[in-house]
Structure 1
Amino acid sequence: MRPPTPRILEEQPVSGGTRLHLELRVRSGTFPAILQVPQGVARAPAALLLHGFSSRGAVMAETVGQALLRQGVASLAPDLPQHGTRGNPHDLQSLRQPLEAVRLWRLALQEAEAATAYLRAHAVVDGSRVGAVGYSLGSFLTLMLAARQPEIRAVVLAAGGDLPQHPVLTALARPIADPLRAVRQLAGRPLLMVNGRYDPVIRPEQAERLFAAAREPKELRWWEGGHTLSPAAILDVANWLARTLEA
């Protein structure tokens, strides 16, 4: 895929490097993203960061993105369709319509592919050392993206898992986004899953089903919490990804 054309909206210094607020142009339109690049590092490893439902790219940039930046890893955190600066998904009755949900999912995947192409082609980034981190909803999207993009060298799924055991939902969703099928396509690429033992959204059994379907190398780490990552878990993710991309 041809990298999208960027427009820099704002540039600011942050701890460890520079943060740029971008607008990336693709054939379907434009979408916002936050790029963070380390200071004084040439050909840095990098990661695409995909946020959860009702969140935004800035949350990923300010948490795991900052933790990565301190280790010399660049990152790109886009706002997914109908999220962040693009709207509030809770206000959209259309999301209850299956066809609209499918359209938005496919648009999110197309934009994630474009974001990956932009990140890999960036002058500061080593395109052979790019990983992806997804949280909650973003973990499902990250998994589908990595299954289609072998250039993504390492994958982190935070608060991610298989679909819930719901006959109607499973029948509708698996033909479009099947986590079990996607995770098998990562064979040979390192996978880290980070999940809360008491998560009421992505329950432990969902995480365990997905982990069982994955092939080596893989690792599942539990934190003593619910759906939201603790600061210690975020730092753990950043440390693992930095080491893995360096290796």
Structure 2
Amino acid sequence: MQAGIFAGWIGALAVSFNSPSSFAVSNPSFEGRAVPSAVASHMVGFRILKQRGKAVTCSGVLLASDIAITAKHCMVDVVAAELVFGTDLDAPVRTAVVKRVVPAGHPGVDFSFVTFDGGLPKGFRPVEILPVNSALPLGDSSIIAGYGRTATRNHDNGILRVATLTVIDNEDGFFVGLGHVNGANACEGDSGGAVFAKRKRKIYYWGTISAKPTDDRGLPCGDHTLVMDMHTDGVRQYLKELSAYSRR
């Protein structure tokens, strides 16, 4: 994918909000235990009010002290949105009003930049993106994190949870498929959540949770997790361009 593929898709896309107002993942072995700080320090949640009064929860990850990223479809037809810091959206460390949403204009990608004021609370920091030359081979393990519900115990969304999934498909160019283990897949509320790879005892962000395709079995959280690959050359360049545009 070439960096130039996104040229011309940024202009006239921003949506501003002047007033405040997805999917849950959980491997059963993680339930009741704290999410590792190396993951939680990069994560945020979103409480979103859409048209016709529909309330939605989505997940996001911090790219800078004033920018988070989430799934583009989370920020469609939005009346107001609030960014939430903390592992429990009902008991936040702090909240911030979403000022502006800048969606990726390319039709093949599913993410939006979200700007907010106030900086980051203590213990929170921007994520580090996986190096471009780091491959994602089939069978490679990744940690997914989000604020959605769980299939295994039918928990409501709003609590940050994690699970370890494996790469089952990476041929698309934009998206990577992850396979579930013990029902620990992406569910409603996890859209926009982060996907991390571990390299040399350090975790790196490489993907944004996009979708939970279903199959004939009717699994409540889908039969696999579809992830927008954020660490390729083209997308990384687009992230830089979109970040600069978001601050205008």
TM-score over 0.5 for the pair: no
Structure having the larger proportion of residues in strand: 2
TM-score (norm 2): 0.29
Structure having the larger proportion of residues in helix: 1
Q: Which one scores higher on RCO, CA 8 angstroms, separation ≥ 6?
A: 2
TM-score (norm 1): 0.29
